[in-house]
Amino acid sequence: MVRISEDLVRKRAEHNDKEIGTLEEIALHQEHIEKIEALDKWCKHLRILLLHSNIISKLDF
């Protein structure tokens, strides 16, 4: 299972100087992600999450 890691989020936050605490938008395309977790802890200001071409099978709210 591919999980969203803090390292992956930092890698994709280059436009925000790799600072994830203030990140408002992130694109995690084509990462073979199966489950979304921990983003709410790392990215408290996240408003836009782009995830196309992943393999997420279920969304829980």
Q: What is the pTM of this model?
A: 0.82
- Annotate 5-60 with DSSP letters as a single string: -HHHHHHHTGGGTT--TT--EEE-TTS-EEE--SHHHH-TT--EEE--S-------
Instruction: Give residue-wise pLDDT tens across range 34-60.
Output: 998 899 999 999 999 999 999 999 887
Percent of the chain residues topping a pLDDT of 90:
82
